[in-house]
A and B are shown apart, each in its own frame.
Chain A
Amino acid sequence: MIDFSLWDIFRNLLLAARWTVGLSLVAFAGGGLVALALLLARLAKLRGAERGVSLYVQLFQGTPLLMQLFLAYFGLALFGINVPAWLAAGLALTFYTSAFLAEIWRGCVNSIAKGQWEAADSLALSFSETMRHVIGPQALRIAVAPTVGFLVQVIKGTALASVIGFIELTKAGTMITNATFRPFTVYACVALMYFALCWPISAWSRQLERKLRRG
């Protein structure tokens, strides 16, 4: 039998953690862009946007992320589209993230006094100018804390991608456990790595919030 040193375990987990980071980045960048588009469609009062976006948000908020992953992975296969695990995971997490961010950001925009919109309107600013120079900067400041809080949720949520066979941190942990028979050591390392990813982000968010207090 081969002996695994703690460093062997740690090193292999670190390699797998790259995929956790990658998947989180994809979810966040993709989800953020989609959420922004949904938010703007709603604010610009495009025809049908209000109902459409609301339905979209409820659909993804009302079903478990696990089911969304299964549906993306096995569902698309039913239509003869063979999706690799990383693509299915990336898609499902993008949809999931976008639904939550669209709702979080809408709340931030709604919390800005109506008088700000009216002042911008009466100064003849266009919708995009109002968003960019009046509403956006104020909403951004409010949005930092809940957005980063949700980002941390997404990083931890990527663990679910392990069930469709995507080898990220959690899946790697399971595989290494099966080889080493040292579950406590392995999963402690896994947990430590999640913490090492999430904690600096939370700390950074607190700092950013302080910095944004005054434009």
Chain B
Amino acid sequence: MADSIVNIVALRKRFGTNEVLKGIDLDVKRGEVIAIIGKSGSGKSTLLRCVNGLEVFQEGSLEVDGQPLKHGDPRAMRALRQHVGMIFQSFNLFPHLSVGRNVMLAPTLVKKHNGPEAEQQARKLLERVGLADKFDAWPDQLSGGQQQRVAIARALAMQPSVMLCDEITSALDPELVGEVLRVVEGLAEEGMTLMMVTHEMNFARKVSDRVVFMHAGRIHEVGPPEQLFGAPQTAELKQFLSALH
């Protein structure tokens, strides 16, 4: 387990009396790309949100880069979250800040980068996601695909070891999905550890090292994409895959 980067053991999560995660064990290796699939309500987004502490879990343990996740300890959470980037379905850019300032905000505040240093980094990251000319634009002047790419640049600015992608193309018009997925694919090729909840099965198949199928709060099947998509073992996965076509 030397190069394990996210280690989840026997994790259980309840919303009131409703248990949504019923004992999750998952070990993610450095550089690994994990696609999490499953029906809505299967707990896949909740699991992802547990990794950076957006959701509080009741039992089990979760470690990122060897640091245990401790709710209620703001300093530990702040340290852990610097290792974990997250991209959301609804982008969640800060609408009152320009694109450049969106990317620069966290590095200047948390990592104490000075102005010119942060600006240089932001310009480089925006170039990487293909938006070099949008530094001074406002989020609401951009298309959904562009906003999501800014969100990716913003998350990358913190130099995370793991990137969480929560259905990042679900709110996009179909013609804009490709530009976002290409950026994510680039990240995967560069060796970024990715955990993504996705409905883009072709993308999951192409990019991921392992696919996790979740059903009713449990990990139902795990394996390389060829195995899960090519030879599903359980009835639930077969049904899920056939419903997609």
Contact = CB atoms under 8 A, between A and B. Distances in A.
Given A118-B88, A119-B94, A137-B96, A124 B81 contact: yes
Interface centre among A123, A126, A138 (most CB of B within 10 A): A123
A118 B55 CA distance: 10
A122 interface: yes
Interface string B158-183: 10000010000000000000000000
B74 A214 contact: no
Given A127-B74, A129-B109, A214-B138, A122 B84 contact: yes
A86 B76 CA distance: 49
B46 to A, nearest CB: 13
A107 B101 CA distance: 27
A127 B78 CA distance: 10
B10 interface: no
B109 A115 contact: no
Contacts of B52: 121-122
Given A118-B54, A214-B138, A215-B97, A124 B92 contact: no
Contacts of A113: 90, 92
B110 interface: yes
A18 interface: no
A134 B97 CA distance: 9
B54 A122 contact: yes
Interface of B: 52-54, 74, 77-79, 81-82, 84-86, 88, 90, 92-97, 105-106, 109-110, 138, 151, 154-155, 158, 164
Interface in A122-159: 122-127, 129, 133-134, 137-138, 141
Contact of B96 (A121, A126, A215): A215
A58 interface: no
Closest 4 CB pairs of A and B: A124-B81, A119-B92, A123-B106, A115-B92
B105 A133 contact: yes
Contacts of A125: 105-106, 109-110
Nearest to A215: B96
A208 to B, nearest CB: 15
A115 B88 contact: yes
Interface in A82-139: 113, 115-116, 118-119, 121-127, 129, 133-134, 137-138
A38 to B, nearest CB: 21
5 contacts: A119-B94, A123-B81, A123-B106, A124-B110, A138-B94
Contacts of B84: 122
Contacts of B95: 138
Nearest to A119: B92
B84 to A, nearest CB: 7
B137 to A, nearest CB: 12
A51 to B, nearest CB: 20
B243 to A, nearest CB: 29
A133 B109 contact: yes
Interface string A64-85: 0000000000000000000000
Contacts of A118: 54, 86, 88, 92
B96 A123 contact: no
B162 to A, nearest CB: 11
A124 B78 contact: yes
A137 to B, nearest CB: 5
B166 to A, nearest CB: 10
B158 A119 contact: no
B109 A119 contact: no
Contacts of B158: 123-124
A113 B79 CA distance: 25
